Amino acid sequence: MASRYDVIVVGAGPGGATCAALLAKWGLKALLVDKNSQVGGKAMTVSKRGFRFEYWPIAACPSTGTHFHDVLKTLGLEKEVDLIVPDPLGLMHYETPSGEIRTIVIPGAGRPIDPMDLFNVLGVTEAELPEVMRLFTDILGMSPQAQEQLDDVGLLEFLDRYQVPTSVRSMLTTLQSEGTLELPNDIASASEFIKVFTQNNTRGGGLYPSGGFGRLYEAMTESIRANGGDVILRTKVERIIVQNGRIRGLATDKGTFYAPVVVSNAGIQPTVLKLVGEEHFDKSYANYVRDLVPSLGFAGARYFLSRPVLKYPLYVYFSDNTVSTMEKHLKAEAGQMPEQIYVFMSTNSLYPGMAPAGKQMVYTGISCPADPKTKIEPWIDKVEAEVARLWPDVFKFVEHKEYYGPAQISRLSRDSVVPGTGGECIGLGQIAGQTGKLKPSPRAPIGGLFYVGADAGGSGFGNHMCVESGLNVAKMARNYWLTHPAAHKA
Ligand SMILES: Cc1cc2nc3c(=O)[nH]c(=O)nc-3n(C[C@H](O)[C@H](O)[C@H](O)COP(=O)(O)OP(=O)(O)OC[C@H]3O[C@@H](n4cnc5c(N)ncnc54)[C@H](O)[C@@H]3O)c2cc1C
């Protein structure tokens, strides 16, 4: 293995794997380093008990015309990974104020739910319909410029501009915001919500790569080697080396590697405050980074069942009382769980090769603090009580179960360098004031250092946002490398 590269990428999560694969394809000598034994970060796919699965439920949105398709095509990997679009995707259950549970099928393959069927299930009256239609038309027809105006507006504040029934607000906020942005809805950015909602309703949701999300990132990583680069796993980066205000390379527990360009997928806060060290930054920049707000964490369960219970990949439940707010979240953190919560059940076992014949693994979960020290029991108890009420069959066939929370998430992804952070579900929170034009720049204020992944360079939902970031940051890093020949000799 060489010790000198054109570019080194720290972290093989969705953003890092994409970025390193593209840079290698474009002719740069690239090194990808990750502390884990497998690539994929929070979206890695593992094999256990005869199943293949991600540690928590992962499905992508949009499903058609995605950055996943673009990157696979650029890398010549279309035949390696099939991007599956389930149809139907699942079932949506709405509980009315009188306790009746109404169900509607969520179609897949880029087809939205028929709006009139949806409004019927949500109990929208004829008198309420014009205002509901105004809201949907405004969202789906909004120009990028108008969306940008909402980068610092919270989702509930945006919805307050429309006099729509609570059932409609609840459907939008629980399914299309809390379930994707992993944030209380009063602080979630309206512009990010609109992006995800529009993508979901025009280009579908639920995309799943054949063999799992990890397989997608493994194929990208294999292409790095095929294009003359190197990949080293089980290697923790301890320091990104800066000399004379320039990137020099990095120090790991397996040795030192040199490059004029380093792209970090380790999270903006760990990168600036720990790996580079805040002494290399202007105080105001270090404080800006320290004050960034992460997404919520997540706690949940995986149930390994002796027979299939779910017919579709996704089942979601909400009621008029499930709109999450910062106040509700803080109360839950203080031990006062809300009475009703948004709940889901999902499975990847329906996809080829993911489960032993006749068996199924299903997930459930709930947003919780991102702090890896969070005691997850109260959150798990709440979600399990709701699963028992809504999908009692699941518990009849459990052969084995496993719980997960922010500590496991942090172990697979980023270090906790600011109190309360590390186990975030997405990464940087897509909150009002921190998205779109207000999101951190992927270019660090040190020549040759870039951030990639959830924290910078993309927008939208989870993996898709990170792959978009990988694509955008790869272009920036290549341009830097091409235009700074003096840095190559440093
Ligand atoms: C419970 C849960 C449910 C989710 N559901 C979905 C979903 O349904 N759909 C969806 O699209 N997304 C979902 N996501 C979010 C998605 O997985 C993340 O947004 C995405 O993985 C973030 O990618 P990233 O590129 O920022 O890097 P990460 O996935 O955070 O990976 C970072 C990588 O950097 C490595 N690294 C960090 N520090 C170092 C170091 N010092 N040295 C070496 N390596 C290092 C880590 O080992 C890791 O591999 C979910 C996440 C969770 C936790």
Q: What is the mean pLDDT of residues 62-76?
A: 97
Ligand 1: does its nearest atom lie under 6 Å from the Cβ of 467? no
Residue 89 within any structural domain of the chain: no
Ligand 1: does its nearest atom lie under 6 Å from the Cβ of 220? no
Ligand 1: does its nearest atom lie under 6 Å from the Cβ of 25? no
Q: Report the separation in Å between the CA atom of 61 and the middle of ligand 1, taken as the mean of its atom positions.
A: 16
One domain, residues 407 and 298: yes
Nearest CA to ligand 1 atom 34: 11
Q: Provide the 8-state DSSP code for 184.
A: -
Ligand 1: does its nearest atom lie under 6 Å from the Cβ of 236? yes
Nearest of 297, 313, 260, 247 to residue 86 by alpha carbon = 313
Ligand 1: does its nearest atom lie under 6 Å from the Cβ of 463? yes
Q: Report the separation in Å between the CA atom of 413 and the middle of ligand 1, taken as the mean of its atom positions.
A: 5
- Cα(87)–Cα(101) distance, integer angstroms: 23
Q: Report the separation in Å between the CA atom of 484 and the middle of ligand 1, taken as the mean of its atom positions.
A: 31
SS3 content of the chain, % helix, strand, coil (to 5): 35, 20, 40
pLDDT of residue 490: 64
One domain, residues 396 and 313: yes
Q: What percent of the chain has pLDDT over 90?
A: 95
Residue 104 within any structural domain of the chain: no
Task: Taking each helix axis as running N to C, give the angle between helix 14-25 and helix 67-74, from 0 to 180 degrees, rounded to the nearest 10.
Answer: 30
Residue 99 within any structural domain of the chain: no
Q: Reply yes or no on whether the pLDDT at 113 is more than 90.
A: no
The residues with which 297 forms a beta bridge, in sequence order, are 368
Q: Report the separation in Å between the CA atom of 131 and the middle of ligand 1, taken as the mean of its atom positions.
A: 39
Model pLDDT for residues 224-253, shown as the tens digit of each residue: 999 999 999 999 999 999 999 999 999 999
**Beta-strand (E) ranges in 34-113?**
45-48, 51-54, 83-84, 90-95, 101-106
Q: Which residue type occupies 454?
A: A
User: Phi and psi dihedrals of 10, rounded to 5?
Assistant: -95, 110
Ligand 1: does its nearest atom lie under 6 Å from the Cβ of 15? yes
Nearest CA to ligand 1 atom 45: 11
- Cα(143)–Cα(194) distance, integer angstroms: 10
Helix residue spans in 362-484 (DSSP H): 377-390, 393-396, 406-412, 462-483
Q: Report the separation in Å between the CA atom of 365 and the middle of ligand 1, taken as the mean of its atom positions.
A: 17
In this structure, are residues 111 and 201 in contact, taking their beta carbons and an 8 Å threshold?
Answer: no
Let me know how long the chain is: 490
Q: Report the separation in Å between the CA atom of 214 and the middle of ligand 1, taken as the mean of its atom positions.
A: 11
Residue 422 within any structural domain of the chain: no
Ligand 1: does its nearest atom lie under 6 Å from the Cβ of 252? no
Q: Report the separation in Å between the CA atom of 8 and the middle of ligand 1, taken as the mean of its atom positions.
A: 18
Task: Count CA atoms within 13 Å of residue 250 on its CB side.
Answer: 31
Q: Report the separation in Å between the CA atom of 321 and the middle of ligand 1, taken as the mean of its atom positions.
A: 30
Model pLDDT for residues 17-49, shown as the tens digit of each residue: 999 999 999 999 999 999 999 999 999 999 999
Q: Reply yes or no on whether the pLDDT at 197 is more than 80.
A: yes
Ligand 1: does its nearest atom lie under 6 Å from the Cβ of 298? yes
Q: Report the separation in Å between the CA atom of 474 and the middle of ligand 1, taken as the mean of its atom positions.
A: 18
Ligand 1: does its nearest atom lie under 6 Å from the Cβ of 44? no
Q: What is the mean pLDDT of residues 298-326?
A: 97
Which of 203, 232, 249 is the endpoint of a domain? 203
Residue 344 within any structural domain of the chain: yes
One domain, residues 299 and 351: yes
Instruction: State whether residue 428 is helix, strand or coil.
Output: strand
Q: Reply yes or no on whether the pLDDT at 270 is more than 80.
A: yes
- Cα(13)–Cα(220) distance, integer angstroms: 11
Model pLDDT for residues 432-473, shown as the tens digit of each residue: 999 999 999 999 999 999 999 999 999 999 999 999 999 999
One domain, residues 257 and 357: no
Q: What is the mean pLDDT of the chain?
A: 96
Q: What is the mean pLDDT of residues 85-90?
A: 94
Instruction: State whether residue 16 is helix, strand or coil.
Output: helix
One domain, residues 199 and 177: yes
- Cα(217)–Cα(68) distance, integer angstroms: 10
> With bands split at pLDDT 50, 70 and 90, how would you rate the model's confidence at 175?
confident
Q: Report the separation in Å between the CA atom of 12 and the middle of ligand 1, taken as the mean of its atom positions.
A: 9
One domain, residues 299 and 382: yes
Helix H or strand E segment including 365:
strand 360-368
CATH of the domain at 385: 3.30.70
Ligand 1: does its nearest atom lie under 6 Å from the Cβ of 247? no
Q: Report the separation in Å between the CA atom of 159 and the middle of ligand 1, taken as the mean of its atom positions.
A: 30
Domain count for the chain, please give it. 3
One domain, residues 150 and 251: no
The residues with which 230 forms a beta bridge, in sequence order, are 31
Q: Which atom number of ligand 1 is nearest to the Cα of residue 39?
A: 49
One domain, residues 386 and 311: yes
The residues with which 208 forms a beta bridge, in sequence order, are 84
Q: What is the mean pLDDT of residues 66-84?
A: 97
Sort strands 90-95 and 314-319 into parallel, antiparallel or unpaired: parallel
Instruction: State whether residue 106 is helix, strand or coil.
Output: strand
Mutate-to-test residue for ligand 1 from 178, 232, 426, highest number of ligand atoms within 8 A of CB: 426
Instruction: State whether residue 239 is helix, strand or coil.
Output: strand
**Burial track 50-74 (b if 16+ CB lie within 10 A, e otherwise):** ebbbbbbbbbbbbbeebbbeebbeb
Spatial strand order in the sheet of 297-305: 101-106, 90-95, 314-319, 343-347, 360-368, 297-305, 398-404
Ligand 1: does its nearest atom lie under 6 Å from the Cβ of 457? no
Q: Report the separation in Å between the CA atom of 265 and the middle of ligand 1, taken as the mean of its atom positions.
A: 9
One domain, residues 41 and 183: no
One domain, residues 365 and 390: yes
Say if residue 389 is exposed, middle or buried (CB neighbours under 10 Å; 0-12, 13-18, 19+).
exposed
Domain hosting 477: range is 7-84+211-293+427-489
Ligand 1: does its nearest atom lie under 6 Å from the Cβ of 57? yes
Nearest CA to ligand 1 atom 52: 425
Model pLDDT for residues 394-425, shown as the tens digit of each residue: 999 999 999 999 999 999 999 999 999 999 99
Which of 411, 445, 479 is the endpoint of a domain? 411
Residue 194 within any structural domain of the chain: yes
- Cα(316)–Cα(328) distance, integer angstroms: 20
pLDDT of residue 489: 73
Nearest CA to ligand 1 atom 18: 426
pLDDT of residue 488: 84
